[in-house]
Amino acid sequence: MPHVPKPSAGSPRRSARDVPSPDPIGSGEDDALAQIAQSFAANPDADVGTSDAVEPGSGGSSLDSASLLNQDETSNTEPRPTFSMAEMTDAELIAALRMIEVEDQERLPRVEVTEANGQHAALMRIDHPIKLRIRGPLGDYALAVNVQTVAKVFGEVGHGVAEGMMSGSVRVRGNAGDGAGTAQVGGTLGIYGSAGNRVGASMRGGGIFVRGNVGDDVGLGAIRGTIVIGGDAGNNVGDPHSDVAVYIRGKVSGLADGVVETSLRKKQEVQLGLLLISAGIRGDAKDFRRIVPAAKLEAENASRGEIAPNWR
Amino acid sequence: MNDDRLSELHLLPPRGQSAWRNLPVESAAQSIERRDGITVPVQVPLFWYEPAWVELPESLASQLACATSDLGVVTSGLYRDFSVQESAPEFFLSTTHQDESEDDQPESYRPRMTPYRAERFGLVPQDFDESLVIDVRFAATRDRAGRYAYSPTQMSRWERVSSAEAIAGGGLVACSSFPADIASPKQARIKLDQLRRLAPKSAVMVSVDAYHLQESLAHALTAKPDGVILRADAVEFDGLSLAKLVRDARRFLDEKSRSFRPLWVVPGKISVRDAVKLFALGANAVAIDRWCEPMVETLRELGQRSYHSVPQHEVSAMAIDHLWPCIDETLGLLSSVAKRDDGVLGSYDSRWADELDAVQLD
């Protein structure tokens, strides 16, 4: 059985004309936020203002997954190639996906993948610029080592979703297990439910957005990238030796030693606000705090906003 | 003067008074059976586990890796240890692609080992391609100064940052003790299956520390690896301890695993005869890092003189001069002890003989 957490309701979404997957996001916090926002803006997932972040202890938004799927079906009537995970092996499916011709990089082919049922290590390293919609839950290490592909999963995922992602994006309309986005190098991972422990552990770049709550050890051992958390976080959040930027709205059970909470700078506020709008999350960027290594904050303050690369 | 660590152990010849029989010369080639039935061939059971590639410019590192792997030594390294500007390093290229006359032949690649560290710094998708072994490290490794950390230089090499940038504030970056996306030892089985899919031709092995041997091996076996790499290179292990660790690990794997699981051993400083004795004690491959390190030192000095590129044939010649005699002697001795059941190891020291179930010599 896959290690999928308990399901929660999805949130409304709408398909739209998309642009190619985003490039890896650099280490500059402001730029990183802007690029995550751009990624969500290019692939909007929900109507602005119709949903809210998962409240602590709540089951998510009021819309159920059936209405979510209906919205998706009605929003785009173009025929799409459809593949069933029940009828093909993972290797066959990936080979078939790689055969799909991409005529216009500005308008990627859309593909439906049906009958996902908790398969482990599914759809990894497709390395082809297409847009996938996967119907059903996936197991551990789903869409790992993603390169170029823009994938949306309408279901839960297990541990290690999008592990080692290089570029493209992975969005999950459900909860995720532990280690979401582990060792992510680039691209964007969006989780519209909650996630387990060690979100963004050993992250090397890119952006992670979790609409709901997360477990312990967020950003453990991460060296670069951006993590945005709409809900609460567990213990040991942040890493004193990390250059990852963690933005959080809810409560934090405990920070890691050597990291501090601080308010957002004006530019970060604007960009986080744009990200929230693009991702369809109601709320104000002012509600978020930033979690950074104390040494990095000191270096930032000493240089009046300019981050010294060697702050340690 | 004999400075072998296992000098108390003797490689015994066949008993003279037994019935006449041939003494066939056994090949050292072997194979690893993956859980999904795919066979991974290993031509020479020697490997270079932890090369200090960061001490060499990328191009020289690739040349040396080519030279050692061309001698059959399974050589460990990441794509970014060798590549410049993301162009494919020679070490990762097919060895047949330049020879048009061999178009019909399946492409062959050098025996390469991919270190899959807990943090995966530097790892890119190309590392999975055509690798002989994926080495999933369930234990952190120390740097040369003994820290569980990676230097800024190492991180810059792996993460491709410009000289103006600094990673994580410019200091040392800590190692992790266990992969963050493995929720439990049992769930590690799924992780290893994932890696088998990402690297469909590779044996997926697990590295464990020799400390807490039974516990480490039990965790490793829970993950159902294709083989186990035992890191017994701590300087505190004397010869007898090393020999016992290998013997005990072999026994544990044989008792607890339903099918044969190869045991690769990282022993630290050893001689050729030590290596063969480790095979006789149950190792299936032995790391020869100490034999290879002088070549890094030689090339490092060249690199410091800005010789970022030395003709490949010169690097190969250096490897042949330095390494081949040791490899040849290892394979020769190994052929004389393989597949023998008449007591290969003996000792005049009763403690060694008792501890290792070796023949007591008098």
Nearest chain B alpha carbon to A26: B161
Assign A178 a pLDDT band (cuts: 50, 70, 90): very high
- Put simply, whether A240 touches B (Cβ < 8 Å) is no
- Read out DSSP for B140-168? ----TTS-SEE-HHHHHHHHT--TT--SG
**In chain B, what residues touch A309 (CB-CB under 8 Å)?**
164-166, 169-170
A241 closest CB neighbour out of B120, B171, B191: B171
Residue numbers in A near B149 (CB within 8 A): none
Cα separation of the two ends of chain A: 44
Angle in degrees, 0-180, between the axes of helices B312-337 and B272-281, rounded to the nearest 10:
50
Q: What is the pLDDT of residues B192-217, one digit of tens each?
A: 999 999 999 999 999 999 999 999 99
Judged by a CB distance cut-off of 8 A, whether residue A149 touches chain B is no
Which residues of A fall within a CB distance of 8 Å from B172?
241
Q: Write the residue in B155, B164, B181 that is nearest to A182 by C-beta.
A: B181
Q: What is the pLDDT of residue B347?
A: 94
* 8 Å CB contact of B179 and A182: yes
Q: Looking at beta carbons, which residues of chain B come within 8 Å of A302?
A: none
Which residues of A, range 260-299, sit inside 8 Å of B by Cβ? 293, 295-296, 299
For an interface test with B, the pick among A90, A125, A146, A204 (most B C-beta atoms closer than 10 Å) comes out as A204
Q: Does the CB of B88 have a partner CB in chain A at under 8 Å?
A: no
pLDDT of residue A284 exceeding 70, the answer is yes
Return the number of other C-beta atoms located less than 10 Å from residue A298's C-beta: 14
To the nearest whole angstrom, how far is the Cα of A9 from the nearest Cα of chain B? 24
As for the ipTM of the complex, it is 0.90
CB contact under 8 A, B118 and A202: yes
The more confidently predicted of residues B145 and A41 is B145
- Looking at B223-288, list the stretches that DSSP marks H as alpha helix, in order from N- to C-terminal side: 239-256, 272-281
Task: Tell whether the torsion through CA atoms of A59, A61, A67 and A69 is positive or negative.
Answer: negative
What is the per-residue pLDDT across A238-270, written as a single tens digit (0 to 9) for each? 888 888 889 999 999 999 999 999 999 888 888
Region for B180 from its dihedrals, namely left if φ exceeds 0, alpha if ψ lies in -120 to 50, beta otherwise: alpha
Q: B169 vs A311: CB contact, 8 Å cut-off?
A: yes
Whether A183 contacts chain B with CB within 8 A: yes
Three-state SS letters, B289-300: HHHHHHHHHHHH
Cβ contact A244:A228 at 8 Å: no
**Model confidence at A183: pLDDT above 90:** yes
The pair of three-digit structure tokens given for residue B14, joined into one six-digit string: 């066949």
**Closest Cβ opposite residue A179 in set B121, B128, B180:** B180
Give me the sheet containing A82-84, strands edge to edge.
A82-84, A110-114, A131-135, A150-154, A169-172, A188-191, A204-210, A224-229, A245-248, A289-293, A259-262
Least confident of A30-39, A103-112, B241-250, B280-289: A30-39
Give CA–CA dist A176/B187, Å, rounded. 15
Which of chain B's residues have a Cβ under 8 Å away from the Cβ of A141? 181, 190-191, 194
- What pLDDT score does A57 carry? 35
The whole-number pLDDT of residue A122 equals: 97
Dist. CA A52–CA A301, nearest whole Å? 33
Q: Do A139 and B190 touch (CB under 8 A)?
A: yes
Query: Kind of pairing, strands A245-248 and A289-293?
Result: antiparallel
Looking at residue B307, its pLDDT comes to: 63
Interface test with B, best of A29, A182, A259, A300 (most B CBs within 10 A): A182
Identify the residue among B121, B147, B161, B181 best suited for mutation to test binding to A, counting A beta carbons within 10 A and taking the highest: B181
Q: Evaluate if residue A304 carries a pLDDT over 70.
A: no
Give average pLDDT by consecutive 10-residue segment, chain B, 362 residues.
85 74 75 94 96 93 96 97 88 77 76 96 96 94 88 90 72 86 91 97 96 94 96 93 96 91 96 96 96 94 74 92 96 84 88 92 88
Within an 8 Å CB–CB cutoff, is residue B125 touching chain A?
yes
Averaged pLDDT of chain A = 80
Best residue in A243, A296, A298, A300 for a mutation probing chain B (most B CBs within 10 Å): A243
Q: CB distance A145–B198 less than 8 Å?
A: yes
Of residues A284 and A119, more confidently modeled: A119
Tell me how close the Cα of A58 comes to any Cα of chain B, in angstroms.
25
The verdict on a CB contact (< 8 Å) between A295 and B169 is: yes
Site of tokens 């290893």: B192
Contacts of A185 in chain B (CB under 8 A): 124
**pLDDT on residue A312:** 67
Q: What is the pLDDT of residue B174?
A: 87
Q: What H or E segment, with its residue span, contains residue B46? A: strand B46-48
Structure tokens at A103: 């005529």
Q: Which residues of A touch B194 (CB under 8 A)?
A: 120-121, 124, 140-141, 144, 160
Interchain proximity A310–B166, CB inside 8 Å:
yes
Mean pLDDT value across residues A116-135 = 96
Residues of B in contact with A120 (CB under 8 A): 190, 193-194
Q: What residues 228-267 of chain B have any CB closer than 8 A to a CB of chain A?
A: none
Q: What pLDDT does B9 receive? A: 94
Contacts of B134 in chain A (CB under 8 A): none
Tell me if B165 and A27 make a contact (CB, 8 A cut-off). Answer: yes
Option in A127, A179, A312 nearest B171 (CB): A312
The interface residues of chain B toward chain A in range 170-229, judged by CB-CB distance below 8 A, are 170-174, 176, 179-183, 187, 190-191, 193-194, 197-198
Predicted TM-score (pTM) of the model is 0.87
Contacts of A92 in chain B (CB under 8 A): none
